[in-house]
């Protein structure tokens, strides 16, 4: 049935209230209550166009056509939509704001989906939205799409629900009762349980009511977690079980407020000797409110400096945990450079040096070893910092989270995991604190790199035939090591002769071959630490312009002058790996370029496209280029 014939169908029977309206305005109010502007947008989304007939609205919202027509007429009377009669088409309605969308910010709320679409948002709106919603798509072309998730409400930086509501209404420019009802329900969930310290020194789990204690906590926890009940709303917690309790109740949908009176350790006066950016100070302020959190931002946004600001705020002895020995040294140097601390107050603890000092930087691996743990357990830390904290949920690294401290802080450019254990990051360390990437790009604090996926043809028939006869992971390995990529890497380096370039690979054999073809060093886990430091220093001081890196370059290597990244293989690994490798060029200086090479017509194409979609949702522009033949071949043929 066409829209036109649907509009001419017999009217549905009216309800008693519709048959005897008291007056026209009362009828409009009744219709408006059952058909809001948000409903209009929901129906418009379903229909895939901004104009609706009454029949289209009725189908999308599963109501009668008369109910849809009356609701649309009520919205017209309120000035929310415009009515237009078009021959030979039926009457259509469209949003009044459609006429001036190009001139101002527009916020559209979809309460049923708990989504907010914002077109041309200003910095204030985005800062407000970041306090209670997750930026799911920030490419700006179809507007910014925010999603309200339970964890966003649980972690909102507000002391009261009323304060959160004020922020929501400021950001949305309107009041959405269905959305606010859901937010209030999540806010209430986040305040049902808390951990406190009993006057005798042990930990107590408190519930807001006997019902929630009995129906939730005592169903999820057992003798491994609690000794015994103290009352209908209190349980005596076993020492060391706090993290497990927080994780289990979080997974059950009830985050636990941690109000324990933990020892803060010896006082340590720290002054920050670098000026903070506005958003860094905001991160620190939000950390100060809760005493824990994870700073989330792109590479180059200054998470390490912000962490030092948190150290200064805490004013206590600090343990910093990092994934590699190289990062230990970099952290130690940075603490001395950017704070008032002296070198003798900063210790390094790893395979080569074992110093425990007021500020100690150690690797996760060594902090988790039984023979070293007592050194860290015996000291009362005011703050533990978990750098690259996306590692924390892994079975090896999570042992380090058993270390007790008054405050916890994580740092990560991309706190996502392919095993879907990322929620454990926030239960073990703290809630996410960050600024959306697009805002940092626009403000000029971080340069937005240009990303291009280049689909490269096979370099020879031998590999093409091997790929055709292989299956599973072996096919990806063959495509990743396509020798045709060597020519394209050469071409890209020659096209950017003045660039400081990093070439990333996933396979040692491929890295050695590329390094030999380019006559440059290859740094991998097999490279001795002293040689690795020397090569990196050469790169920093402009003595060397090109390095080939294995996975050691994904995290923990500070390359602030890199302005060109070529990913020869590796984006098939994980979204986090894609973020780290592409993000190595994100620094305040502009003009950064990232090229991702994928063998044309193979599974590597899909892998690369999928992983870079994650960066596209953060606001980066991703181009695609299909190469018929490598540029070097074209030059040889004089084309």
**DSSP letter, residue 216:** I
Fold of 278-435: Rossmann fold (3.40.50)
Output the pLDDT for position 271.
94
517 backbone dihedrals φ, ψ, rounded to 5°: -65, -35
- What is d(CA 286, CA 281) in angstroms, rounded to the nearest whole number? 9
Output the pLDDT for position 515.
94
Output the pLDDT for position 145.
85
Instruction: Extract the residue ranges of the chain whose pLDDT is less than 50.
Output: 1-32, 101, 417-420, 560, 572-579, 581, 583-589, 630-639
- pLDDT tens per residue, range 284-312: 998 988 888 889 887 778 899 999 999 99
- pLDDT tens per residue, range 180-215: 999 999 999 999 999 999 988 899 999 999 999 999
- What is d(CA 176, CA 170) in angstroms, rounded to the nearest whole number? 12
Largest alpha-carbon pair distance within the chain? 88
Distances (CA, A) of 93 to 44, 45, 576, 590: 10, 14, 44, 45
- What is d(CA 323, CA 328) in angstroms, rounded to the nearest whole number? 8
Output the pLDDT for position 446.
64
Q: Which two tokens stand for residue 441?
A: 């790009």
Closest C-alpha to 217, from 200, 230, 202: 230
Residue 184: CB atoms within 10 Å: 14
Contact status, residue 582 vs residue 567, Cβ threshold 8 Å = yes
Output the pLDDT for position 250.
87
Fold of 3-99: Arc Repressor Mutant, subunit A (1.10.10)
Q: Which two tokens stand for residue 328?
A: 């230990």
Sheet of 501-504, strand order: 522-523, 546-549, 501-504, 564-567, 593-599, 450-456, 622-626
- In the chain, residues under CATH classification 3.40.50.300 are 278-435, 447-636
Closest C-alpha to 493, from 548, 555, 554: 548
Residue 252, SS3 per DSSP: coil
Dihedral sign computed on CA atoms, order 443, 444, 445, 448: positive
- What is d(CA 418, CA 578) in angstroms, rounded to the nearest whole number? 12
Quickly list DSSP for 401-469.
GGS-EEEEEEEES----TTS-HHHHHHHT--EEE--HHHHHHHTSS---EEEEEEEPPS-HHHHHHHHH
- What is d(CA 150, CA 185) in angstroms, rounded to the nearest whole number? 9
Sheet of 144-147, strand order: 106-110, 115-119, 144-147, 134-137
Q: Which two tokens stand for residue 509?
A: 């054999």
Contact status, residue 328 vs residue 350, Cβ threshold 8 Å = yes
Output the pLDDT for position 101.
47
For the chain, how far is it from start to end, CA to CA, in angstroms?
57
Residue 102: CB atoms within 10 Å: 8
Model's pTM, two decimal places? 0.58
Output the pLDDT for position 526.
83
Superfamily, domain 447-636:
P-loop containing nucleotide triphosphate hydrolases (3.40.50.300)
Contact status, residue 30 vs residue 116, Cβ threshold 8 Å = no
**Ranges of H-type helices in 48-160:** 54-61, 65-77, 123-129, 150-154
């Amino acid at each position: 049935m066409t829209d036109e014939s649907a509009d001419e169908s017999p009217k549905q029977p009216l309800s008693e209230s519709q048959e005897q309206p008291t007056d026209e305005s009362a009828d409009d109010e009744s219709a408006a209550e059952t058909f809001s502007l948000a409903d209009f947008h929901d129906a418009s989304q379903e229909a895939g166009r901004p104009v609706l007939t009454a029949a289209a609205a009725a189908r999308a919202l599963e109501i009668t056509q008369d109910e849809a027509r009356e609701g649309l007429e009520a919205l017209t009377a309120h000035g929310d939509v415009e009515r237009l009669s078009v021959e030979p088409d039926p009457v259509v309605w469209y949003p009044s704001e459609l006429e001036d969308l190009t001139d101002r910010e527009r916020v559209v709320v979809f309460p049923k989906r708990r989504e907010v679409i914002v077109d041309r948002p200003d910095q204030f709106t985005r800062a407000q939205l970041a306090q209670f919603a997750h930026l799911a798509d920030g490419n700006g072309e179809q507007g910014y799409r925010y999603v309200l998730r339970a964890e966003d409400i649980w972690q909102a930086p507000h002391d009261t629900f009323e304060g959160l509501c004020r922020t929501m209404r400021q950001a949305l420019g309107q009041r959405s009762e269905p959305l606010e009802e859901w937010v209030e329900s999540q806010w209430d969930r986040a305040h049902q349980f808390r951990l406190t310290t009993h006057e005798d020194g042990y930990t107590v789990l408190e519930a807001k009511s006997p019902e929630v204690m009995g129906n939730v906590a005592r169903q999820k926890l057992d003798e491994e977690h609690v000794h015994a009940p103290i009352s209908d709303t209190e349980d005596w917690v076993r020492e060391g079980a706090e993290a497990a309790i927080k994780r289990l109740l979080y997974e059950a949908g009830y985050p636990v407020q941690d109000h324990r009176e933990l020892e803060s350790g010896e006082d340590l006066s720290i002054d920050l000797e670098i000026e903070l950016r506005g958003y860094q100070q905001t991160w620190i302020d939000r950390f100060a409110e809760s005493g824990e959190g994870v700073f989330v931002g792109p590479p180059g946004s200054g998470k390490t400096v912000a962490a030092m600001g948190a150290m200064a705020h805490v004013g206590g002895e600090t343990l910093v945990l990092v994934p590699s020995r190289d990062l230990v040294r970099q952290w130690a140097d940075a603490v001395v450079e950017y704070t008032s601390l002296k070198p003798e107050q900063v210790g390094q603890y790893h395979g080569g040096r074992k110093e425990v000092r007021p500020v100690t930087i150690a690797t996760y691996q060594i902090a988790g070893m039984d023979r070293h743990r007592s050194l860290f357990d015996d000291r009362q830390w005011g703050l533990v910092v978990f750098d690259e904290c996306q590692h924390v949920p892994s079975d090896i690294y999570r042992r380090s989270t058993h270390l007790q401290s008054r405050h916890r802080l994580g740092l990560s450019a991309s706190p996502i995991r392919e095993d879907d254990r990322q929620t454990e990051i926030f239960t073990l360390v703290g809630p996410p604190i960050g600024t959306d990437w697009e805002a940092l790009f626009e403000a000029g604090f971080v340069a937005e790199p240009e990303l291009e996926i280049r689909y490269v043809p096979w370099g020879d028939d031998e590999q093409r035939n091997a790929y055709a006869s292989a299956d599973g992971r072996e096919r990806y390995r063959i495509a990743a090591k396509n020798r045709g990529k060597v020519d394209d890497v050469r071409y890209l380096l020659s096209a950017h002769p003045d660039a400081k370039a990093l070439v990333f690979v996933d396979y040692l054999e491929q890295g050695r071959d590329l390094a030999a073809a380019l006559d440059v060093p290859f740094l991998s886990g097999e490279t001795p630490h002293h040689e690795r430091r020397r090569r990196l220093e050469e790169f920093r001081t402009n003595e060397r312009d090109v390095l080939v890196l294995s996975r050691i370059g994904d995290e923990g290597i500070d390359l602030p002058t890199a302005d060109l990244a070529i990913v020869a293989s590796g984006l098939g690994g994980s979204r986090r790996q894609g973020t780290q490798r592409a993000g190595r060029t994100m620094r305040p200086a502009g003009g950064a370029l990232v090229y991702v090479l994928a063998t044309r017509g193979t599974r590597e194409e899909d892998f690369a496209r999928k992983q870079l979609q994650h960066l596209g949702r953060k606001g980066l522009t991703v181009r695609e280029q299909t190469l018929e033949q490598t540029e070097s071949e074209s030059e040889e043929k004089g084309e």
